[in-house]
């Protein structure tokens, strides 16, 4: 082989290396974008959870929020009757339930493996299939309205296909 032949082989190998490198970089960019999206979602979930925790810990914050929400009183009375609690206790349960659903939504949106889905499916079956989460999920329309329809359908499918927990 001549030097020119070796040069041509080198160019072919270089071209293949460039294509492989570009493919690798493209996959890394994709995974970095997915990771950034997951981190953003987790940050939003943390923020919502922090706000809900403030309401859980501060009765004045809960009362002010509910006073500003014209439907809150009737919803809490209805929920209290279903749960066998006072309206204030129902509000605590509702606020806790909102925090749970938002955490689970963030986990749902970040699922990557069958193990991730199995873990979340088990949490849904353990908590949403029995009171108090079952009462919230089945009877309070605002819980589902706060979440994206794909997640709501996924949870409803799990609960409707379960043999009872």
Q: Mind listing the pLDDT tens digit for each residue in 11-58?
A: 899 989 889 898 888 888 888 887 777 777 777 777 777 877 888 888
Contact 103, 49 (CB under 8 A): yes
Contact 89, 96 (CB under 8 A): no
Q: What residue has token string 């309401």? A: 55
pLDDT at residue 165 tops 70: no
- Give rounded-to-5 percent helix, strand, coil for the chain: 85, 0, 15
As separate numbers, helices (DSSP H) first and strands (DSSP E) second, the chain gives 8, 0
Judge whether 8 lies within some domain. no
Judge whether 30 lies within some domain. no
Judge whether 3 lies within some domain. no
How high is the pLDDT of residue 29? 86
Helix boundaries (H) for 110-148: 114-127, 133-139, 141-145
CB atoms within 10 A of CB 151: 17
DSSP state of 148: -
Judge whether 27 lies within some domain. no
For the chain, the domain total comes to 1
Spatial separation of the C-alpha atoms in residues 26 and 42, rounded to whole Å: 24
Judge whether 140 lies within some domain. yes
Judge whether 34 lies within some domain. no
Structure tokens at 72: 């809150």
**Helix axes 87-109 and 114-127, enclosed angle (nearest 10):** 170
Judge whether 60 lies within some domain. yes
pLDDT band at 159 (very low <50, low <70, confident <90, very high): very high
- Domain hosting 69: range is 40-161
pTM: 0.69
Judge whether 7 lies within some domain. no
How high is the pLDDT of residue 152? 96
């Amino acid at each position: 082989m001549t030097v020119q032949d070796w040069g041509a082989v080198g160019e072919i190998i270089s071209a293949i290396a460039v294509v492989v490198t570009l493919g690798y970089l493209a996959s890394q960019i994709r995974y970095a974008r997915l990771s950034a999206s997951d981190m953003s979602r987790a940050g939003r979930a943390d923020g919502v959870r922090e706000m809900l925790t403030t309401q859980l810990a501060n009765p004045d914050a809960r009362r002010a929020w509910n006073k500003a929400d014209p439907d809150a009183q009737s919803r809490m009375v209805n929920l209290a009757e279903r749960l066998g609690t006072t309206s204030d206790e129902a509000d605590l349960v509702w606020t806790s339930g909102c925090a749970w659903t938002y955490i689970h939504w963030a986990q749902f949106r970040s699922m990557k493996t069958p193990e991730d889905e199995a873990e979340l499916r088990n949490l849904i079956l353990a908590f949403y299939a029995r009171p108090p989460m079952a009462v919230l999920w089945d009877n309070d329309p605002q819980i589902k309205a706060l979440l994206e329809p794909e997640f709501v359908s996924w949870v409803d499918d799990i609960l409707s296909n379960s043999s009872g927990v």
